[in-house]
Amino acid sequence: MAFVLPDLPYAKDSFGSILSAEIFDYHHGKHHQAYVTQTNDQVGPAGLEGASLSEVIAKAKAGGNAKLFNASAQVWNHSFYWQCLSPEGQQPTGKLKDMIVRDFGSQDELLAKLKAESVGHFASGWGWLVLDGDTLKITSLHDADTPMVHDGMKPLLTLDVWEHAYYIDYRNARPNYVDALLGKAINWEFVAMNLDGKGVSRADQG
Ligand SMILES: [Fe+2]
């Protein structure tokens, strides 16, 4: 079964000036779609027909198939990223809020560190909030790299900092894009759900 481009979990025009419909047209409709197509084209030749997306990613990594790893990991990373966003301007609550205060001191400190990591990440990649055991940690990964192939990185929240994620709306101003998302557009309910350690499954398919 071929992998598919997942629908966005909201209307593409629901973020106002934070993210335009045009950026979703390109980022979701063109870039994410291209990774889906590239993955489907390579799964058969790699002998991985019928494997789930997460299995393809793991086996491509283990087998040193960088081209398939990059395409398939980008399918998963983007499927996860869309779910991390919400046009509703939520705030962390409950257990997640308590863990943020425990591990970072305050929500503001978490946001400042995640912004610094994401803005400071050199070239293309992803800023991440992950769960290591019972501890929240911030990191960033290069290019298509993804938490699921690293020990101690259960995915909770990601920010796409590839230039294609913000250039249409923010030109080169990555800090403004990161500020807008962290301040107004994070789906903290989704982040809290991922504290169960099953975040990988929420962007998996096949
Ligand atoms: Fe992207």
What does the pLDDT look like over 43-56, one tens digit per residue?
999 999 999 999 99
Average pLDDT of span 6-22? 98
> According to the model, what pLDDT value does residue 1 have?
72
Gap from CA of 162 to ligand 1 centroid (Å): 6
- The pLDDT tens digits of the residues spanning 61-83 come to 999 999 999 999 999 999 999 99
Q: What is the pLDDT of residues 82-110, one digit of tens each?
A: 999 999 989 999 999 999 999 999 999 99
CA of residue 69 to ligand 1 center, whole Å? 15
Neighbours of 172 (CB within 10 A): 10
Domains of the chain as residue ranges with CATH: 21-84 (1.10.287), 94-203 (3.55.40.20)
**Distance, CA 29 to ligand 1 centroid (Å)?**
11
* pLDDT for residue 177: 98
Listed residues: CB within 5 A of ion ligand 1: 160, 162, 165
CB 52 within 8 A of CB 204: yes
Per DSSP (E only), the strands in 12-171 are 125-132, 135-142, 154-160
- Distance (angstroms) between ligand 1 centre and the Cα of 102 equals 31
Task: With 0.95 as the threshold, say if the pTM is over it.
Answer: yes
Instruction: Give distance in angstroms: CA of 2 to centre of ligand 1.
Output: 21
